[in-house]
Structure 1
Amino acid sequence: MRIEWQLAFWFLMLVLAGLGLYMSASVLAPFVAALILGYVLDPVADRLQRLGLSRLLATLVILAVFVVVLTIVIFVLAPVLGRQVVGFAESLPVYAAKLQSLITEQAAEFLQKYGGDWLQKLGIDSASANESIQKSLGNFVGQGVQWFGNFLKSIWSGGQALVGIVTLTVITPVVTFYLLLDWDEMIAVLHSLVPPRYRPAVLEIATEIDRALSGFLRGQSLVCLFLGLWYGVGLSMIGLNFGFLIGTSAGLLSFIPYVGSLTALIFSAVVAIVQGWPSLGLFGEALAVVGVGQFLEGNFLTPKLVGGSVGLHPVWLIFALLAFGSLFGFAGMILAVPAAAAFGVVVRFAARRYKQSTLFHGMDIGPT
Structure 2
Amino acid sequence: MEKPEQVEEFSETEGSGLTSAQLWFHYRRYPYLLAKIATAAIVVVALYWIFRSVESVLFPVLLSMLIAYLIDPAIDRLEERGWSRTTAIGVFLVFILGFFAVLSLFLYPTIAHAIGKVVEGAPKLLEMVRVQAIPWFEAQTNYKLPDTLSKALTEYGDTIQAQAPKILTGATEGALEAWKRTGILVASLLNIVMIPIFTFYFLRDFDKMRLGLVDYLPVNNRDWFIERFRRMDE
Query: Please, what TM-score do these two structures have when normalized by structure 1?
Result: 0.33
Structure of greater Rg: 2
Query: Please, what TM-score do these two structures have when normalized by structure 2?
Result: 0.49
Structure with more contact order per residue of length (Cα contacts < 8 Å, sep ≥ 6): 2
